[in-house]
Copies of this chain bind each other. A is one copy, B any other.
Amino acid sequence: MMRPKLRLIPLGGLSEIGKNMMVVEYENDIIVIDCGLMFPEEEMLGIDLVIPDTSYLLDNKEKIRGIVITHGHEDHIGALPYVLPQFDVPVYSTRLTQGLISVKLKERKALATAKLNVVPFGSQFTLGKFRVEFFPVCHSIPDSAGLIIYTPAGVIIHSGDFKLDYTPVGGKPTDLSRLAQLGMQGVLLLLADSTYAELPGYTPSEQVVGETLDRIMAEAPGRVIVATFSSLISRIQQVIDAAARYQRRVFVVGQSMSNTVNMALEMGYLKAPDGVLGRLDELHNLPRNKVVFATTGSQGEPTSALARIANRDHRQLHIVRGDTVVISATPIPGNEALVNRIVDSLFKQGAQVMYDKVAQVHVHGHGSQEELKLLLNLVKPRFFVPIHGEYRHLSLHAKLAQSVGIPEENTFVLEDGDILEVSAQLAKKAGKVSAGNVFVDGLSVGDIGSVVLRNRRMLSRDGIVVVIMAINRQTGKPVGRPDIISRGFVDTRESKDMIEESRDLVARILEHSGERAAEWGFISTKVRDALNRFYYEQTKRRPMILPVMVQV
Contact = CB atoms under 8 A, between A and B. Distances in A.
Interface of A: 15, 41-42, 45-46, 198-199, 333-334, 336-337, 340-341, 343-345, 347-348, 353, 357-358, 390-392, 395-396, 441-444, 447-449, 451-453, 455-464, 466, 468, 470, 479-480, 483, 485, 487-491, 494-495, 538-541, 544, 546, 548, 550-552
Contacts of A340: 15, 333, 390, 392
A199 B341 CA distance: 18
8 contacts: A46-B462, A340-B390, A344-B390, A358-B396, A443-B538, A455-B463, A487-B546, A550-B552
Nearest to A334: B337
Contacts of A538: 443
A214 B463 CA distance: 49
A114 to B, nearest CB: 23
A489 B45 CA distance: 11
A466 B548 contact: yes
A15 to B, nearest CB: 7
A81 B464 CA distance: 29
Contact of A452 (B199, B390, B470, B491): B491
Contacts of A343: 392
B392 A548 contact: no
A337 B333 contact: yes
A489 B452 contact: yes
A133 to B, nearest CB: 34
Contacts of A485: 546, 548
A353 B392 CA distance: 9
A488 B466 contact: no
Nearest to A461: B46
A459 B487 contact: yes
Contacts of A550: 468, 470, 483, 550, 552
Nearest to A466: B466
A491 B443 contact: no
Given A46-B541, A198-B358, 19 more contacts: A347-B392, A358-B396, A447-B490, A447-B495, A448-B491, A452-B488, A453-B488, A455-B463, A456-B461, A456-B462, A456-B488, A459-B464, A460-B460, A466-B548, A468-B468, A468-B548, A468-B550, A470-B550, A483-B550
Contacts of A449: 491
Copies of this protein in the assembly total 2
B441 A552 contact: no
B456 A460 contact: yes
Nearest to A548: B468
Contact of A539 (B15, B444, B458, B460): B444
Contacts of A479: 552
Best-buried of A345, A455, A544 by chain B (most CB within 10 Å): A455
B464 A487 contact: yes
A509 to B, nearest CB: 18
Contacts of A456: 459-463, 488
B463 A459 contact: yes
A443 B539 contact: yes
A194 to B, nearest CB: 12
Contacts of A455: 463, 487-488
B441 A541 contact: yes
Contact of A546 (B395, B448, B466, B480): B466
Contacts of A480: 551-552
Contacts of A442: 462, 539-541
Contacts of A539: 441-444
A451 B491 contact: yes
A45 B464 CA distance: 13
Best-buried of A459, A538, A541 by chain B (most CB within 10 Å): A459
A137 to B, nearest CB: 24
A538 to B, nearest CB: 7
A45 B344 contact: no
A460 to B, nearest CB: 3
Contacts of A396: 358
A21 to B, nearest CB: 20
Best-buried of A464, A480, A541 by chain B (most CB within 10 Å): A464
Given A441-B541, A485-B548, A392 B344 contact: yes
Contacts of A15: 340-341, 344
A353 B544 CA distance: 39
